Amino acid sequence: MKARRVLLLVLALTIGAASGEIPDETRRAAYSANWKRLASIENRIRATRPGRRETPVRPGNIEEDEVREIQRVTSEIWPGASIKISTVVVGCPCEEGPSCSDQVWVVRHRPAKAKGLLLSRIDGHWTIGPVQHWWFDYEHLQARRPLFHSRWAYWDAEREFYETFPACAVSPAGADRETPGDRQ
């Protein structure tokens, strides 16, 4: 029943926003009613922001064929760039899915500017995982912020985008699956 009311409120806000009939007070009330759920999503998003992890270190660290695979993946994003590969760590946030086993932080180095990328080992292959993909898309949304006609329009788009954050697999008991690499 609560989900139906939220859905109706969102629908009313969407229709009203399209026609320009929703006053700021109504928008504020809608955000206030939904703030706890959104705060929970935002907290999880912040906790899984891609970054370098130091532990738990994978025994044997990294093999030569893995380095070549990582170079192939990063060359698609940073053609011709020189990269540094950190230590491989065991475990992934649950949003990466149950077949993610390890992660590694890769940095592209240019004079006076470095940029990092978190790769996940999913189904035995190094790739850009769902969380890193989400963050790429979020950065793209942030870069487009000046193009929105109002701050409310951007906030609406941002809140809607938060809903697309990868979800954890749910166990039969109803609890989220956690791995040793989960960062809460």
Report d(CA 39, CA 53) in Å as an integer: 24
How is residue 57 annotated by DSSP?
Answer: B
pLDDT of residue 30: 67
Q: Mean pLDDT throughout 103-128? A: 90
Q: Mean pLDDT throughout 133-159? A: 95
Residue 177 confidence (pLDDT) above 70: no
Percent over 90 (pLDDT), the chain: 56
Residue 114 confidence (pLDDT) above 90: no
Would you kindly state where each structural domain of the chain is located, as residue ranges? Answer: 2-48+135-162
pLDDT of residue 167: 87
What counts of helices (H) and strands (E) characterise the chain?
5, 5
Residue 59 confidence (pLDDT) above 70: yes
- Where do the DSSP E strands lie in the chain? 82-85, 89-90, 100-110, 113-122, 125-128
Is residue 135 within 8 A of residue 149, CB to CB? The reply is no
Name the 3-class secondary structure at 103: strand
Residue 2 confidence (pLDDT) above 60: no
Residue 6 confidence (pLDDT) above 80: no
